[in-house]
A and B are shown apart, each in its own frame.
Chain A
Amino acid sequence: MITLENINKIYPVGEGEFYALKDVMLHIEKGDFTAILGPSGSGKSTLLNIIGCLDNPTSGSYRLDDHEITALKDGEKAKLRNQKIGFVLQDFALLNRETVYYNVMLPLLFSSTPYGKIRKKVMAALETVGLSGQEKKLANQLSGGQRQRVAIARALVNDPDLILADEPTGQLDSETGKQIMELLRELNRQGKTVIVVTHDDKVAGYCGRHFRVIDGCVREECKV
């Protein structure tokens, strides 16, 4: 499903260059539950953003299903993000002044879903993450765990194939973090491809495959 070949990401730093990713080779199959591990600043988020079509690699080739992403235009990538990819971020990335309902419906506002069909989809997504009946609350009235569930519901609402989670438990206590990981595992069992970025080995324990990023270099580890 995902194939990265010789991906480089170079940031200009002052006069020089900084290699955030070096010759990354990576292959992920549909239905995988993958962890990307590594210390802070190693390039995990950079990698995930490239996989999520948010950022362009400096060089290399990235294939997602049948699309050569590096050749796509901005609008086509936006469509992919909208239809095929759901994001879950460490800080939840919610509109805090908005209701749970609006936050979850946001991807649908940028899709071709007719306005009348939105409500059903939002409610279904909220039910999946166990937040039924909370749709009228404001995002900033919720606990961290609940907010992350809202973010997951938003990631799910357009029924994407791929869920990308960047440190989804980073701001949660270990008990809540566990629940979130279990939710992601459940989604994986329902057929979604899930990639979780983390620096926490416990979190990675949920995942079937492990990639370790060190100084921009990626290699797969056998599960211990």
Chain B
Amino acid sequence: MKLIRKMISFTKGIRGSMVLLSLMMTVSMIAGITVVAQIRYIRRNYELMSHTTGKADRLYYFMQNDFMMTDAKNREWIQSLEEEAAVAGVYPVYTVNPLTYGTGADETMISIVLYHHRLGELFPGLKQDYSGGSGIITASPVFDNLSIGDTVTLRFTRTNVKQNYTIVGKLEYPYYSLKFGGSATVPTVNQMFYSGGHLMMEGTPENLERLSNLASVSPSMNFILEVRDDASNEAVDALMLRLSRSGITVSLPELLETSEEEIWRQYRTLLPKPVFLLVVSIFGYFSTLILTFKKKERDLALCYLCGANRSQCIAVVLAGFALMALIPTAVCVSMLLILPVCDWLGWMTAYQYRVDYGCWLLIGGYLALSAGIALITSRLQMKDHTPVTLLRGVEQ
């Protein structure tokens, strides 16, 4: 109660500036959040891929340049690679469609994505578990009301066949699903992820065979290739030569390196904005903050005169600051809470944002810095002019 009374009193004479400061705080925090969320998005993909089981030097990312090949021919070619002496495994991602889920108005287009279980083992950061046999693993909010053991009915629209599948696994949001999509001369990890949810199934030969009779099964143009531990240099060279006729091969370390460079390139386009904001902040926000809190210098001297000790003076300043920061913080915190929900609902797929601890750190840091400046402003005042000189100045 006493604190509230002091808080209200603190705002007297600086209410205009406090409203302005609140606005500036809101705008700059939101701007900061969007930038940090973009940076975190880019960074996440990199972290997922770099978190391997330590076999990175035996992994290669391969990008085909022959787009004219039919799916069937492509599959054949991929299977022929597996027979190479140096190869331990080839791990493309297969997409099965068209198919729908649900009936009537609730009918939803959906795809099944077939993974090789090795992908989950190689990249534990993906948190994918493909031990599903011919069952289905859900990775979409659409299936959130279903649990393991339930059955889903899928309709293959080309053949109009309906089939039931048991749910054997559920990926938790956020879903980190590989797709090896796109194509670029310089491959980066940013092309490797699905943005939307879907169904997953293990890419066993039996599953491939069965589903290709019902729908079209297209292998990703790009894939991960694992070389044997004991493969001879000659065999690896021969493999690389063969691959070079059909596309580009980069080792995983190389891929991560180019991705890292790409990330910094993206940062460079993203970062001038926050730097500009920082400059504007320093001149606008912080000077307003300092001037506003400087106005309270005499009030604090009066509190001191009336027997407030240092921590009570600090509490008065912090209470005033808290009042000012209340609305901006509420706005930004609700933004941070709502964004993941939007993302989860699939409304955010077009935006490359990721709300994680980085955004919370930003808000926390921003508030701490501002409160620190507010405090230092008033502390410096108390030092430069002790209440004595301050009140004497008023006196004369």
A residues whose Cβ falls under 8 Å from a Cβ of B: 45, 49, 54-55, 74-75, 78-83, 85, 87, 89-91, 93-95, 97-98, 102, 105-107, 109-111, 115, 154, 158, 166-167
Contacts and interface: CB of A to CB of B under 8 A. Distances in A.
Given A78-B308, A106-B303, 12 more contacts: A45-B392, A54-B305, A54-B386, A55-B386, A89-B391, A102-B9, A105-B5, A106-B306, A110-B308, A111-B307, A154-B306, A167-B395
B317 to A, nearest CB: 14
Interface of B: 1-2, 5-6, 9, 12-13, 299, 302-312, 386-388, 391-392, 394-395
Contacts of A97: 12-13
A89 B390 CA distance: 12
Contacts of A98: 9, 12
B305 A83 contact: no
A102 B6 CA distance: 9
Given A97-B12, A102-B5, A115-B2, A107 B307 contact: yes
A89 B395 CA distance: 8
A78 B303 CA distance: 10
28 contacts: A54-B304, A54-B388, A55-B386, A55-B388, A74-B310, A78-B309, A79-B307, A81-B304, A81-B305, A81-B306, A82-B306, A83-B307, A85-B307, A87-B305, A89-B395, A90-B395, A91-B391, A91-B394, A93-B302, A93-B391, A95-B12, A102-B5, A106-B302, A106-B306, A110-B309, A111-B307, A115-B2, A158-B307
Contact of B307 (A49, A81, A166): A81
Contact of A78 (B1, B12, B307, B392): B307
A11 B163 CA distance: 93
A97 B299 CA distance: 11
B14 to A, nearest CB: 10
Nearest to B393: A91
Nearest to B311: A75
A192 B73 CA distance: 105
Given A49-B388, A115-B1, A110 B307 contact: yes
Contacts of B392: 45
Contacts of B299: 95
Nearest to A157: B306
Contacts of A166: 395
B372 to A, nearest CB: 21
A162 to B, nearest CB: 13
- Kindly name the residue among B12, B299, B307, B392 whose own CB sees the greatest number of chain A CB atoms within 10 A: B307
Given A45-B392, A89-B395, A109 B305 contact: no
Contacts of A82: 306-308
B395 A109 contact: no
A54 B387 contact: yes
A93 B5 CA distance: 19
A95 B298 CA distance: 9
Closest 10 A/B residue pairs (Cβ) = A82-B307, A78-B309, A107-B306, A81-B307, A75-B309, A97-B12, A110-B308, A115-B1, A55-B388, A106-B306
Contacts of B12: 95, 97-98
Contacts of B311: 75
Nearest to A109: B2
Contacts of B395: 45, 89-91, 166-167
Contacts of A95: 9, 12, 299, 302
Contacts of B13: 97
Given A74-B310, A79-B309, A93-B391, A110 B9 contact: no
A109 B302 contact: no
Contacts of A109: 2, 5-6, 306
A102 B299 CA distance: 13
Contacts of B386: 54-55
Contacts of A85: 307
B12 to A, nearest CB: 4
Contacts of A167: 395
Contact of B305 (A90, A93, A105): A93
Nearest to B302: A93
A89 B311 CA distance: 24
Contacts of A154: 306
Contacts of A45: 392, 395
Contacts of B308: 78, 82, 110
A61 B243 CA distance: 91
A85 B1 CA distance: 25
B387 to A, nearest CB: 6
Contacts of B388: 49, 54-55
B192 to A, nearest CB: 60
A110 B391 contact: no
Nearest to B306: A107
Nearest to B3: A109
A103 B395 CA distance: 18
A45 B141 CA distance: 74
Nearest to A56: B386
A89 B298 CA distance: 14
Contacts of A80: 307
A45 B391 CA distance: 11
A171 B395 CA distance: 10
